[in-house]
Amino acid sequence: MSEFIIYPAIDMRGGKCVRLIQGDYAKETVYGDSPFEMAKVFAEKGAEWIHMVDLDGAKAGRRVNDNHVIEVARKLDVKVQIGGGIRSEEDVDYYLSNGVSRVILGSSAISNPEFVKKMLSKYGEKIAIGIDAKDGFVSTEGWVETSTVKATELGVELAAAGAETFIFTDIATDGMLSGPNVDAACKMAKATGKEVIASGGVSSLNDLVILAAFTANGVAGAIVGKALYTNQFDLSEALEEVERA
């Protein structure tokens, strides 16, 4: 059985650490002025990975908060995965050549599938596919738009193109502390036959234990954001709980 990994999330907007509710830029809470200092806290508590999102980049379609990402990747003993505003091979190469372990391609999977397939062919497991879904359909451009493409169908297509890791977000649960959509994450893992990292809705240690119970089914980890920032539980506590599960 593969290891279940907790990915503490750092969403960046205007150089600060923020959380949005259901991807709504108008529903923002600022939790810190320094992404690096936040990442340092997570690293000290035992994080193996840090999940970073450039929200400004996702909206603008270009890298905006990349300097914060590189600082974390270079200075801390953690692996970093980054998504948001990555639209070109130059963007992918920039991050990977500066210490980032994994680059997440999301909206471009819909807008530029040939580019995504080329990146999968060239960089392999260093590329993760971010699939954000609303009612089973893929949302794009920072969740501003919903496509007519079914999330599982996109997953199957990109798995065939070489994707090994999917980050699946159920927008309905993101930032709501309402519990993760376990069923949807399992369906994506089953459809693709690949590892799926669940994102959205984790509110308690029990949510993590439930997700970790499906590691053998392909649910390889969970991204946790708001629950950590609002002190629903401590990261070191969560890591211990999942290890025991």
Percentages (nearest 5) of helix, strand, coil residues in the chain: 40, 30, 30
The catalytic position among 132, 170, 174, 207 is: 132
* Catalytic residue check, 234: no
Which amino acid appears at position 59 of this protein?
Answer: K
| SS3 labels along 152-208 | HHHHHHHHHCCCCEEEEEECCCCCCCCCCCHHHHHHHHHHHCCEEEEECCCCCHHHH
Q: How many contiguous H segments (helices) and E segments (strands) does the chain have?
A: 11, 12
Residues, the chain: 245
Q: Which residues pair with 221 in a beta bridge?
A: 5, 197
CB 182 within 8 A of CB 214: yes
| Catalytic (active site) residue 66 | no
Q: How far apart are CA 130 and CA 116, in angstroms?
A: 11
Nearest Cα to Cα of residue 149 among 158, 133, 160, 138: 138
Give the active site residues.
11, 132
